[in-house]
Structure 1
Amino acid sequence: MKVNELATKVGVTPDTVRFYTRVGLLNPSKNLDNGYKNYGLADQKRLVFIVKSRHLGFSVSEIQEVIGMSNQGDSPCCRVRSIVKDRLNEALRTIDELQQLAERMQKAADTWKDLPDGQPTGDSVCSLIEMWDDIELDHLSLKKFTETTS
């Protein structure tokens, strides 16, 4: 199969196939007559594995690690479980942070709904944000934030 054929069979773009070939996750043979890369059934199976791994949140380097373990005859399943557990914890933390952000944004939107637009004074940028007192930062965090952004 050529790049386009493999991409169509797996449901990805040809650029995706080229990328995974470039990073060494796919290893097609070369046609000596025309220089085209030829992908076989093993490449198709590997690409399906890569796509499934990416859908589970694996990075390219983690996929390379898992494939490398398998190629050496070691079962990567324990490592796969560990990666999924780590990704799940990260996703849950992100969901929690986004939920908190959505709640703050909703509270601000409700509070600001009927307030007039202020005009910049040179000392003021946006009175809505400046008057907002729902900041959950302690003094150390606020000091650290202002030092790093100055």
Structure 2
Amino acid sequence: MDRKGYSIGEVSRATSVNIETIRYYERIGLMPAADRTAGGNRQYSDEQQKQLSFIKRARNLGFSIEQIRSLLVMADENQMSCCQVKDMTASHLKDIQQKIAELKHLEDKLQVLHQKCQCNEGPSCPMIEDLFGEG
């Protein structure tokens, strides 16, 4: 049953989305602006709360704002093609896998640098020398 409305604090607590983030999503048009009470307070519907949960879950999966906007448009206009969503997800997954590979490469390089350091008390440091290209 749809209540008259939820305050921004209630929606924030229910979705674990920061109040400023909710306001930001409204400002950039990712979420429709909430109705206002006579006193000017935002009032969110069940549907808006559900949409905010969707956005949060998509952000947690690393989707960009623009990707989320596309997903919401597809869902809102009932023009969602599972193939379109799958294609977007496959592209996003490829990007994530590439980032993981880059991070693993970075980890390997840092591990080598870390192992070079003998914690000498002298002014020479193999890590610093390596970073300056002298190692």
- Using structure 2 for the length normalisation, give the TM-score: 0.77
Distance (whole Å) between structure 2 residues aligned to residue 128 and residue 12 of structure 1: 42
Other-structure match for 1:6: 11
Please tell me whether the aligned partners of residues 25 and 64 of structure 1 are also in contact (alpha carbons under 8 angstroms). yes
Unaligned runs of 5+ in 2: 1-5
Counterpart amino acid of residue 99 in structure 2? T
Q: Any idea what the Cα deviations from partners look like across 1:49-74, whole Å, max 9, x if unmatched?
A: 11111111111111111211223220
Give the Å deviation of 1:128. 4.4
Other-structure match for 1:61: 66
Report how many aligned residue pairs link the two structures. 125
Unaligned runs of 5+ in 1: 120-125, 133-150
Please tell me whether the aligned partners of residues 30 and 36 of structure 1 are also in contact (alpha carbons under 8 angstroms). yes
Moved more, 7-16 or 42-51: 7-16
Other-structure match for 2:3: none
- Using structure 1 for the length normalisation, give the TM-score: 0.70
Q: Return the structure number with greater relative CO, CA threshold 8 A, min gap 6.
A: 2
Q: Rate the CA distance shift 1:128–1:56 in 2: closer, same or farther, 3 A.
A: closer
Distance (whole Å) between structure 1 residues aligned to residue 43 and residue 16 of structure 2: 18
Determine whether 1:117 maps to 2:120. Answer: no
CA RMSD across the alignment: 2.3
Q: Which has the larger radius of gyration?
A: 1
- The counterpart of 1:131, out of the listed 119, 131, 134, is 134
- The counterpart of 1:108, out of the listed 109, 113, 130, is 113
- The counterpart of 2:99, out of the listed 82, 89, 94, is 94
Please tell me whether the aligned partners of residues 66 and 79 of structure 1 are also in contact (alpha carbons under 8 angstroms). no
